[in-house]
Chain A
Amino acid sequence: MSLEITEPTPVIISEERQVSDTRRELVLNMGPQHPSTHGVLRVRLTLEGETITGCDPVIGYLHRGVEKLGESKRYAQFVPWTDRTDYVAAPSNNLGYVLTVEKLLGIEAPERAQYWRMIMAELARLASHLVWLGTHALDIGALSMSLYCFREREMILDIFEKFCGARLTTNMMEIGGFSRPIPPDLPDMIRDFLAVFPKRQREYEDMLSANPIWLARTRGVGVIEPDVAINYGLTGACLRGSGVNYDVRKAQPYLFYDRVDFEVPLGTHGDVYDRYLVRMEEMRQSLKIIQQCLDQVPTDGPLKLAESNYVIPPHDTVLTTAEDMQRHFIWVIKGFSPPKGEVYLAIEHSKGELGHYIVSDGSPIPYRLRIRTPDFVNLQSLPYMAEGAMLADVVALIGTIDIVLGSVDR
C-alpha cells in the first residue's frame, strides 16, 4: 500500500473573520516561543479591537509522558523524575511522591527526617514564589524585580546544593528518610537566610505594593469569584486569592504542620493584586515555619528508617553484615513490592494542591501513577479571566496563575 505523506496543513497563524457587518475579529497567536508565557504555552486569542473575546491556551509542547514512564520504573527509581515536573520547586515534588509511597507502604520516616523534609519543602515554596514574583513583575514591566528576586533565590539554591549537591533537580528525598547525613553548618546557613530575607522582601514591597502603575495594572484585573474558583478546581494562591480558606497543610496536615503555628492569608477581591498579596504573605509564613522547624528539630537521631525491606540498608552496614548485604542486593535488583491497593495523598505545593495517586498491583512497579499538578488545573481559569480583558492584561494573567509548563504538560 502506498504511504502518501499528506502535506501538513499550514497552522493558521491568523485570520480575520467577519463577525458582523461592522466588526472584524482578529485571531492572534501568542507563543509557544514567547517571552512571557513562562515556558512553551501557546495562547490563541480572538480579539475585537483591543478587547479579548476568546482565549484558549494550547499546551502539550513539553509533554514527556511522565505518568506513563512511572508505569515502567520501580518506586524508588521514579523520584528523580518528580524534580523534572515543576523544576522551580523540586523538593516539594519529591516530598509529594515520597509521602504517597510511604503512605502506600504504611511506613513513616523518623521524626528528624520529617522536620528536615518540612524545612526543605518550605524553602522550595520560597524559591518558587521568588521565581513567580520576578517573572510576573518583569512581564508587567518592572525590570529590576527579577534581578532582586533571583539574587535571593541564589541563597536558597546554595542551601539546596549544600544539602543534596544539586541546585535545581534536587532528588533529595527518599522513601523512608534521608540516607546522607545533614551537613553540620546547614542550620546556620538557613538561619542567616532567615535573618536577611525579611528585609529584602520589604524592598520588593516598597517597589510594588503601593506603586500606582502596579496597582493600575493589577487591581480589578482577572477577577475570579470564590464559587467560580471552586468550580474550576483551583487550588493554592489562586483559590485563596478569592477568599476561599483551603490550604492542604491546614485541611489535611501532613508531616508536622500541626505542630507548627502559621496562618493562611486570604484575599478579599480575587484579582491579580490579591493573589500577589497572598503569595507575599505566604512567603512570610514560610519563614515562620522554617524558623520553628529549626528550633524543634532534634539534633541527633536516625535520619532513615532502619530494618524494613522497603528501605535500602545504610551504607556502613552493607559491607559488614551478610544480612544487610543480601537485603541491599534484593532491594537493588528486584526493588520492593508494596501491598496491593491504591493511595492518594495531597501536599500544599507552592502553586497549589499537588496530589499523587498510585495504584499498586503488588509488583515492584506501580500499575498506575497519576500526578495531579496544581498549575495544570489553575491554567484552565485563564480563558475565564481573559474574556473581556485588554490585550496587554494576558501577560499579567499568565503571571498571576503562576504556571510552570513542566508540571502543566508533565
Chain B
Amino acid sequence: MNWAAFLSNYIFAFIVLNVMLGLMAYMTYFERKVLAAMQDRVGPKRTGPFGLLQPIADGIKLLAKEDIVPKNADRLVFLVAPLLSFVLAPLSAAVIPFGGTVTVFGQEVNLYVADINVAVLYVLALGGMGVYGIILGGYASANRYSLLGALRSAAQVISYEIVLGLSLVGVFILSGTLSLVQILEAQQQPLSFGGVQVPNWYILSQPLGFVLFLIAAVAETNRAPFDLPEAESELIGGFHTEYSGFRFSFFFLAEYINMIAVSLLAATLFLGGTDGPIADGVWWLAAKAALFLFFYIWLRTTLPRFRYDQLMGLAWKVLLPLALINIALTGLIRLWGLGLL
C-alpha cells in the first residue's frame, strides 16, 4: 500500500468536501445578494461586514429552532430522509477534476479525488438516489398532501434525469469516454478552425446537448421555473412542509449543494473545466461554475413557474425527442469524421 499517495488523496478529498460545504453555505448568501440586486433592494448586510456572516446566522437560527416530528409520522424514515439527500449531494464532487497532477512536497498529487471509468454515470446514479430523500420525506410526514407533493416532485426529477442522461450522450460520443478527467483532456487541445485557435469545448460542438443539459439540470434540482414542489407547498403541501429546524435545513442545503455540483459538472463537461485561455487552473473552473450559479439565480428572479402538466409535457414531448435527435446527429457526424460513413 503506497501510504503517501493514499494520504495525499485523502487530504485532497477532505479539502474538496469542506470547500463544497463552505461554498454551499455561502451560496445561500450569494443567492440572496444577487436576488436582492436584481430586485432593486440590498439583501442581507446586517450580520457582519456586508452581511457575510449571514449563513452562519441562518445556521444557528435553524439549529435553535424546535425540531418537530409529526405525531403519527414514521419516525425512522422521517429522520433518515433529509440526511439521505444531504449526504448524497456533495458526493458527486468526487469525480470532478480540479486540475491535472501537481507535485506537492515532492509527492505526486492528482487534483481529482477519483478518476473512475463511469464518472458521469456515477453522478447520474447519485441524482437517481437523491429522489429517495424527496419521496421518503413526503411519505414519512404522514400527511396526505406532502405525500402527493413528494410523488409529483419525484416524477419530475425522474423524467428530467432521463433527459439529463441522454443530453450527455453527445459528449460521450465526441470524447469517447465517460471519465471526466479524460473528457477534460479531450477538451484541452485547441482546434484550429480556419487558422483561428478555437478551444475545443463541447459547448461549441454540442450546443443542443448543452441547452438540454442546462434545462434538465435546473429541473433536476427543483429550481427556478421548475420549482413546482416548493409552490406546491402552497397548494398540496410540498414534501418538506412537516420538517422544521435543522432537519429542514438539510433539504434546503441539499438543494444548494446539488446546484453547485451540477454547475461544476456543466463547467467541466461543456466549458472545459480548468482549461482557460491564459493559465489553466481551478480558478477557471470556479469562474465557469459561478457563471452557471448566477444563471440559476437569474432564472429564479425572472421566470414564472411551470404548471405540473406543462412541466411533464415539456420533458417527454419536447426535450426527450430533441435529446434523441442530438444523439443521432452527433453519431452521424462522428462516423462521418471517422470516414466510416
Cβ-neighbour of A392 out of B38, B145, B227, B235 (below 8 A): B235
With A390-B307, A392-B307, A392-B308 known as contacts, the answer to whether A143 contacts B301 (CB < 8 A) is: yes
Task: Assess whether A326 is interfacial by the CB under 8 Å rule.
Answer: no
B232 to chain A, nearest CB (A): 8
With A14-B144, A141-B225, A148-B39 known as contacts, the answer to whether A34 contacts B302 (CB < 8 A) is: no
Question: Do B303 and A391 touch (CB < 8 A)?
Answer: no
Task: Assess whether A90 is interfacial by the CB under 8 Å rule.
Answer: no
| Chain B residues with CB below 8 A from A394, complex form | 235
Cβ-neighbour of A35 out of B35, B228, B234 (below 8 A): B234
Cβ-neighbour of B302 out of A36, A140, A144 (below 8 A): A144
For A30, give the chain B residue with the smallest CB separation: B235
A40 to chain B, nearest CB (A): 15
In angstroms, Cα B36 to Cα A143, docked, is 11
| Chain A residues with CB below 8 A from B228, complex form | 392
A36 to chain B, nearest CB (A): 6
Interface string of A360-394 (1 = CB under 8 A from B): 00000000000000000000000000000011111
| Chain A residues with CB below 8 A from B75, complex form | none
For A142, give the chain B residue with the smallest CB separation: B304
Question: Do B235 and A391 touch (CB < 8 A)?
Answer: yes
B34 to chain A, nearest CB (A): 12
In angstroms, Cα B305 to Cα A211, docked, is 11
Task: Assess whether B41 is interfacial by the CB under 8 Å rule.
Answer: yes
B6 to chain A, nearest CB (A): 48
Question: Do A142 and B303 touch (CB < 8 A)?
Answer: yes
In angstroms, Cα B213 to Cα A278, docked, is 38
Question: Do A213 and B309 touch (CB < 8 A)?
Answer: no
| Chain A residues with CB below 8 A from B309, complex form | 50, 390
In angstroms, Cα B333 to Cα A267, docked, is 50
Instruction: Give the interface size bracket for B toward A.
Output: 20 to 34
B215 to chain A, nearest CB (A): 12
Interface string of B296-317 (1 = CB under 8 A from A): 0000111111111110000000
B123 to chain A, nearest CB (A): 28
In angstroms, Cα B41 to Cα A35, docked, is 22
| Chain B residues with CB below 8 A from A211, complex form | 303-304
B195 to chain A, nearest CB (A): 40
The DSSP consensus for interface residues of chain B is helix
In angstroms, Cα B307 to Cα A35, docked, is 18
Question: Do A36 and B234 touch (CB < 8 A)?
Answer: yes
Task: Assess whether B66 is interfacial by the CB under 8 Å rule.
Answer: no
Question: Do A141 and B305 touch (CB < 8 A)?
Answer: yes
For B152, give the chain A residue with the smallest CB separation: A50
| Chain A residues with CB below 8 A from B225, complex form | 141, 213
Interfacial residues of chain B within 28-54, with CB under 8 A of chain A in the complex: 35, 38-41
Question: Do A392 and B231 touch (CB < 8 A)?
Answer: yes
In angstroms, Cα B302 to Cα A390, docked, is 23
| Chain B residues with CB below 8 A from A213, complex form | 225, 303-306
| Chain B residues with CB below 8 A from A216, complex form | 306-307, 310
Task: Assess whether B236 is interfacial by the CB under 8 Å rule.
Answer: yes
Task: Assess whether A283 is interfacial by the CB under 8 Å rule.
Answer: no
For A391, give the chain B residue with the smallest CB separation: B235
| Chain A residues with CB below 8 A from B145, complex form | 28
In angstroms, Cα B234 to Cα A392, docked, is 10
Task: Assess whether A332 is interfacial by the CB under 8 Å rule.
Answer: no
Count of chain A residues near B, Cβ 8 A: 29
With A14-B144, A144-B38, A148-B40 known as contacts, the answer to whether A217 contacts B235 (CB < 8 A) is: no
Interface string of A183-216 (1 = CB under 8 A from B): 0000000000000000000000001100101101
In angstroms, Cα B126 to Cα A99, docked, is 68
**Most interface-central of A34, A151, A207, A391 (chain B CB within 10 A):** A391
| Chain A residues with CB below 8 A from B35, complex form | 143
| Chain A residues with CB below 8 A from B304, complex form | 137, 140-142, 208, 211, 213-214, 217
For B230, give the chain A residue with the smallest CB separation: A141
Interface string of A383-407 (1 = CB under 8 A from B): 0000000111111000000000000
| Chain A residues with CB below 8 A from B232, complex form | 392
In angstroms, Cα B310 to Cα A50, docked, is 13
In angstroms, Cα B232 to Cα A391, docked, is 10
For A140, give the chain B residue with the smallest CB separation: B304
| Chain A residues with CB below 8 A from B231, complex form | 141, 392
Question: Do B39 and A395 touch (CB < 8 A)?
Answer: no
Question: Do A144 and B39 touch (CB < 8 A)?
Answer: yes
In angstroms, Cα B38 to Cα A144, docked, is 8
Interface string of A33-53 (1 = CB under 8 A from B): 011100000000000001000
**Most interface-central of B35, B232, B301 (chain A CB within 10 A):** B301
In angstroms, Cα B144 to Cα A217, docked, is 26
| Chain B residues with CB below 8 A from A390, complex form | 307-309
| Chain A residues with CB below 8 A from B308, complex form | 50, 390-392
For A221, give the chain B residue with the smallest CB separation: B307
Task: Assess whether A147 is interfacial by the CB under 8 Å rule.
Answer: yes
A151 to chain B, nearest CB (A): 6
Question: Do A147 and B235 touch (CB < 8 A)?
Answer: no
| Chain B residues with CB below 8 A from A147, complex form | 39-41
With A213-B306, A393-B307 known as contacts, the answer to whether A143 contacts B39 (CB < 8 A) is: yes
In angstroms, Cα B225 to Cα A148, docked, is 19
In angstroms, Cα B145 to Cα A66, docked, is 38
In angstroms, Cα B36 to Cα A151, docked, is 13
Question: Do A151 and B40 touch (CB < 8 A)?
Answer: yes
| Chain A residues with CB below 8 A from B305, complex form | 140-141, 213, 217, 392
- Known pairs A28-B235, A213-B306. 17 more at Cβ < 8 A? A35-B234, A50-B309, A141-B225, A143-B35, A143-B39, A144-B38, A144-B301, A147-B39, A148-B39, A207-B302, A213-B304, A217-B304, A217-B305, A391-B236, A392-B307, A394-B235, A395-B234
8 tightest A-B CB contacts, nearest first = A141-B305, A141-B304, A147-B39, A142-B304, A140-B304, A144-B301, A392-B307, A144-B39
Residues of B within 8 A of A (CB): 35, 38-41, 144-145, 225, 227-228, 231-232, 234-236, 300-310
29 A-B pairs whose Cβ atoms sit less than 8 Å apart in the complex: A28-B235, A50-B308, A50-B309, A141-B225, A141-B231, A142-B303, A143-B35, A143-B39, A144-B38, A144-B301, A144-B302, A147-B39, A147-B40, A148-B40, A208-B304, A213-B304, A213-B306, A214-B304, A216-B310, A217-B306, A217-B310, A392-B228, A392-B231, A392-B232, A392-B235, A392-B307, A393-B307, A395-B234, A395-B235
